[in-house]
Amino acid sequence: MTHSHCIAIVDDNLTQRMILTRLLEKDYTVASFDSGSSFLASADSFDAVLLDIDMPDINGYDTCRRFREQLRGADVPIIFVSAHDTTPERVAAYEAGGDDFLTKPIAAHELRHKLGNAIELREKMRTLASQSTDAQRLAFTAMSSMGDLGVVIEFLRKSAMATSYPAIAARLMAAMKAWGLRGAVEVRGRHQQVALNAEGPMTAMQGAVLEKLRDIGRIFEMGSRAVINFDNVSLLVENLPVDDPDKVGRLRDHLAVLAESADMRLAALDANSERDLQKQGIEAALDELRAAMQQAARHSGISHRQGRSAVLESIEQLGRVVPTLGLTEVQTSYLSDLISHAGDETQTYFDEVAQQESDFADVAARLQRLAQADYRL
């Protein structure tokens, strides 16, 4: 029958080894050694050791010390067995690295109790050590993630203030360098394209790789290399830490955030550039309109003033002439009313023309104010 735990019995006394084996073999796998030398020479692993103190070749204390120096013996419970239960022997046993002490003759229940407790304690200590290691790993991962996020935040802060394509490309390259990544960056704006790596302009090979993989999808990975694509941005990474999958995952996510943010900033710069062109066109058109209006106003003002004066003067002259025509009172009154009405109609016409000119000038002024407004992102 195979048991889950293996116990080593080290004692030069054959009878003692047989007694201990008989007591333990129902619950444990037992390995028996007649000397410290044979025990130390064994390559087997054990869950606990029962170690006699008085042995001819190497005593139990020295055997314990040498076993502790071996990697397999670092945390294995060692219970010393001796016919002498004295304080000096117990102290020497603990100083040599022992965990407990049994006095011969050994009581079966005490042997099983101490062995069970020693093995259980070892397993709990191993569990705690594993949990501690996991906690340390998580803490290190958390600290690494915080450092990675710091790079992302710094990029977002600085890229929001970038006003050119080269500035955005340089910020992306700086973030990659902060993470220890080699590669290249390509940003594609409406009016300019920038392609660079940490040393300067992108190499022909890097450019060929990005061009070939630009339309392959958002993220493409091949071993330690990766390409991240957005409409206006492509990132090439050449040295992903493939031996650390968790870190690769974090970096991939962070790079995607950076690329998307840069893509949005480039779109904003393009929109600003387009508005600048539109604004320049509107301003040029308004300048032409303003010049035409001023010229028309000069001619129109003169013509309207001259025409108004001439018409009103003619109406007044008709009004003065009518009474001298020898007409009847009724005819004179009727004709005078017609002349007066014509004068009022003429006055209204010139007033309306003046109001239209004023409205036209007001529209031009509003267009000018609109052209001067600056709605930048």
Q: Which of 8-17, 255-264, 329-338 has the lowest mean pLDDT?
A: 329-338
C-alpha gyration radius of the chain? 50
Helices (H), 31-107: 36-41, 60-69, 87-96
Distance CA 237, CA 223 (A): 11
Q: What residue type is 306 in one-letter code?
A: Q
189-246 pLDDT tens trace: 787 888 888 888 888 888 888 888 888 888 888 888 999 999 889 999 989 998 988 8
Chain-centroid distance of CA 91 in Å reads: 58
| Predicted local confidence at residue 222, as pLDDT | 84
Across residues 161-174, what is the average pLDDT?
86
Distance CA 220, CA 234 (A): 11
| Predicted local confidence at residue 81, as pLDDT | 93
| Cα dihedral 317→318→319→321 (10° resolution) | 90
Contacts of 51 (CB under 8 A, 6+ apart): 10, 11, 60, 63, 64, 78, 79, 80, 81, 98
HSE, CB side, 13 Å, CA atoms: give it for residue 299.
5
pTM: 0.44
CB 269 within 8 A of CB 165: yes
pLDDT above 80 (res 136): no
| Predicted local confidence at residue 163, as pLDDT | 82
CB 97 within 8 A of CB 49: no
pLDDT above 60 (res 315): yes
pLDDT above 50 (res 152): yes
CB 117 within 8 A of CB 89: no
| Predicted local confidence at residue 215, as pLDDT | 84
| Predicted local confidence at residue 376, as pLDDT | 47
- Report phi then psi at 347, rounded to 5: -60, -45
